[in-house]
Structure 1
């Protein structure tokens, strides 16, 4: 639990007390954790694996809103008013979670205000990313949005290696398209273009290497 950002301020004894409150679950790839509209009374933290949060648009298209990975949490909107789940959550791979009941987590943040601050900081980061994505729809080309997504993945999932930054992609090409609200072919074409230009290199269907981060920033329209 000490590796989870929202609990990083706790001592060993306090961590043991927190661990006694959690309920652990495991989900195979593809399983629905919660469906949109389900009652969700827990705060859930991802211990391992990754989960996509999505809604279905009126035209039947899947719109991915978030990808939650190790250390991320969801269910915070329901801690105080018992709302239903605002989106469907599905395991992108084998997933392990730990959950706190609404009552236990509210008592926990009352006893440890630092946890509440950490939750607020994490939510601020999440909101900033969502706002950036919304701005991108209006001001960035679809090609620039693909490049910006690679930068976002590099920040969250990237691992420095001698040649650049290695990313284990949390989404397939189709998943990236659903996240950005564009065609799958556009994602594949742009990634192919970036590879031809020597900006990235595909390692496998699930990984790629960023070779020239500055060129990727320029492609995304990000000022240095």
Structure 2
């Protein structure tokens, strides 16, 4: 993507967070936004750094994670195109409590705290959109905790494979292919599973003729059987 020709106001118009702004407001906000290109493995920010902006992923993927003193990682969230992150830390004026790292070539839109506060002062309705975004993330984290506490590792993995399927998909008899967006180890961390357990469950599902594994392509052979298998 050509950064110099990137139409920031137009991009803002398709994001739910900014879609209700007028064209003039989006153009004013765009003046305070910066595009940031990262290579795979580049850090967006680290724990302890000042958080004076939030980010929207335009292209690519970002991993939000914490790390133990021994270097062990726990992936908190995987953020893809059109999704934002770091809003809560920006509002609290607190140092970053997470690390953020690009998992592929990534283009980010950086929206400064000063610009956000300026828009809130001009139109308090803007704060409602910000709150909605933060609330969605909180709801997702609560669902994660519920999953860790009440669901087995098998159920969490199957739930991940079926996460984007619509109701009509469950009625199909054909094969449905799910592409893993990142490495199996990263997804395992996101689901609070060890990589070894993650691979073992995948191969168990393959042995039961529920899925076929082709590197990062997972072909679901029977959606209904797979969904019910997780409840055993």
Q: TM-score range by the shorter chain?
A: 0.7 to 0.9
Alignment partner of 2:178 out of 144, 151, 167: 167
* Structure 2 unaligned regions, length at least 5: 1-10
Deviation sequence 1:110-148 (CA, Å, 0-9, x none): 334454333323322222221122122222221111112
Aligned counterparts of 1:214 and 1:130: Cα–Cα separation in 2: 27
- TM-score, structure 2 as length reference: 0.80
| Pair member with larger Rg | 2
Shift of 1:89: 0.5
* Structure 1 unaligned regions, length at least 5: none
Alignment partner of 1:33 out of 34, 40, 44: 44
- SS for the counterpart of 2:162 is helix
* Paired position in structure 1 for 2:225: 215
The answer to whether structure 1 residue 46 and structure 2 residue 60 are counterparts is: no
Shift of 1:31: 0.8
* Paired position in structure 1 for 2:130: 119
* Paired position in structure 2 for 1:192: 203
Aligned counterparts of 2:224 and 2:116: Cα–Cα separation in 1: 42
Q: Greater shift after overlay, 50-59 or 192-201?
A: 192-201
Aligned counterparts of 1:59 and 1:98: Cα–Cα separation in 2: 32
Aligned counterparts of 2:36 and 2:173: Cα–Cα separation in 1: 37
Aligned counterparts of 1:179 and 1:127: Cα–Cα separation in 2: 16
Aligned counterparts of 1:87 and 1:169: Cα–Cα separation in 2: 23
* Paired position in structure 2 for 1:206: 216
Alignment partner of 1:88 out of 94, 99, 102: 99
Aligned counterparts of 1:199 and 1:112: Cα–Cα separation in 2: 52
The answer to whether the 8 A contact 2:211-2:219 is kept is yes
User: In the TM superposition, what are the counterparts of 1:88-107 in structure 2 within 5 Å?
Assistant: 88-107=99-118
* Paired position in structure 1 for 2:4: none
- SS for the counterpart of 1:80 is helix
The answer to whether structure 1 residue 61 and structure 2 residue 86 are counterparts is: no
Q: Name the count of aligned residue pairs.
A: 218
